[in-house]
Structure 1
Amino acid sequence: MTLLISPAYAQDAAAGAGPLGSLGGVVQILPFILVFAVFYFLLMRPQQQRQKQLKATVAALKRGDRVVTAGGILGVVQKVREGSSEIEVEIATGVRVMVLRDTISSVLGDVPPAANDSVPEKRPAKL
């Protein structure tokens, strides 16, 4: 019967009782655990913190804040309805649209007061 057992198998069975003994399986899994920990602390955790911060910022929107929607539209908040998921945003002079709070991708802050709202006239070139 001993002729059917290879020397390599016998050595492996004897090494199991060696200094690493039952830690052999943990040593093999340890690199995977370390890679997951690095991914968590460098990628997943900061993203979760940014999501919480954006959620708090969107919840605190007020009239006059400049926002960017998920579609890339810039606008100024005109009306915020408490308890509602809708916000009225002015995207151009006299053009107001209703957007959902969930579609706000970033808040740029308050609208700076304009020094001069008039647009300078362009004069036609002389021929």
Structure 2
Amino acid sequence: MDFLISKAHAASAPQQGGGFEMLIMLLIFGVVFYFMIYRPQAKRVKEHKSLMEALSKGDEVLTQGGIVGKITKVSAEKDFIVVSVSDSVELTVQKAAVSAVLPKGTMKSL
């Protein structure tokens, strides 16, 4: 069975890799992780937080559940808003459930 394994390959000692190359590789992975994953997510969170703080009465919003409505009441001390879906239907939702503020008149065009 010696003919399957090259004697020169089997006789050579394994190469000792330095720790410096591994350190550089970890540093490169860390930089890639920061710029491709962490930084864009932090930017989205910051934008969503500013969106929630800017909500006011009369804004037309889209919730994460796909409901479009007009804000009728904003609770400052609590994190809830009341959204009017139609003339007789009002829903209480968390501010965090708002995914976008729509332009004025969007509900009329639907």
- Output the TM-score relative to the length of structure 2: 0.71
Using the TM superposition, give the Cα deviation of residue 112 of structure 1 relative to its aligned residue in structure 2, in angstroms.
Answer: 3.1
Moved over 6 A (4+): none
Identical pairs, percent = 35
2:75 is aligned to: 81
Q: Does the aligned pair in 1 maintain the 2:60–2:106 contact within 8 Å? A: no
Question: What is the Cα-based RMSD across aligned positions, in Å?
Answer: 2.8
Q: How many residue pairs get matched?
A: 98
Q: 2:13 aligns with which of 2, 8, 11?
A: 8
Q: Which runs of 5+ in 1 are unaligned?
A: 1-5, 17-23, 118-127
Bigger CA radius of gyration: 1
Q: 1:38 aligns with which of 15, 18, 32?
A: 32
Q: Does the aligned pair in 2 maintain the 1:58–1:107 contact within 8 Å? A: no
Q: Which runs of 5+ in 2 are unaligned?
A: 1-10
Rounded Cα–Cα distance in structure 2 between residues aligned with 1:65 and 1:76:
6
The question of 1:27 aligning with 2:32 is answered no
- Output the TM-score relative to the length of structure 1: 0.63
Q: For the structure 1 residues 7 and 85, does the alpha-carbon distance in structure 2 shift closer, same or farther, using more than 3 Å as the test?
A: closer
Letter of the 2:84 counterpart: E
